[in-house]
Amino acid sequence: MRILKPGGHMLLIWNVRKDDAPFTSSYEAILHRLVPEYAASKHRKFDMEPIRDFFQPRQMKKQVLSNSQSFDWEGFKGRALSSSFMPKQGLLHDEILSEMHDLFHRYEENGKVLFQYDTIMYYTL
């Protein structure tokens, strides 16, 4: 455990995928349709009370910035399959990989796809 030094600053950061673009909404649809564990994952469920409590007695501030990651096929495949809710092997793994491959080739530009995020920062001054 680390202790904040007097006058120090605290910062919590999350990248939250924007799902309003065609590529990312299609990616999200594949996850919901093929990965039962995805709906139960808590990667997007922020409980603000513990976050506010973390910063007490200081007042928490919030800032949201745009961010993105660009992936070629190997990078996209690695990013998708590294998620904790993804099956590691078997028929479902192969079906997901096949759909991800089709998705990549449907949306790639110059051999890359783009994940867009809101980078959400909670901090104190």
Spell out the domain ranges in the chain: 11-123
- Across the beta sheet with 11-17, the strand order is 11-17, 113-123, 61-71
Q: What is the pLDDT of residue 106?
A: 97
**Lowest-pLDDT choice from 35-49, 65-79, 82-96:** 35-49
- Residues counted in the chain: 125
Characterise 84 by phi-psi region: left (phi > 0), alpha (psi -120 to 50), beta (else): alpha
For residue 91, the surrounding DSSP H or E stretch is helix 91-107
Model confidence at 42, pLDDT cuts 50, 70, 90, reads low
Over pLDDT 70: what percentage of the chain?
A: 94
Q: Where does the pLDDT of residue 29 fall: very low under 50, low under 70, confident under 90, or very high at 90 and above? A: very high
Could you tell me the two tokens for 106? 């449907």
Average pLDDT, the chain: 88
What's the pTM value of the predicted model, to 2 decimals?
0.75
DSSP annotation string for 31-79: HHHH-HHHHH--TT---HHHHHHHHTTSPPEEEEEEEEEEE-HHHHHHH
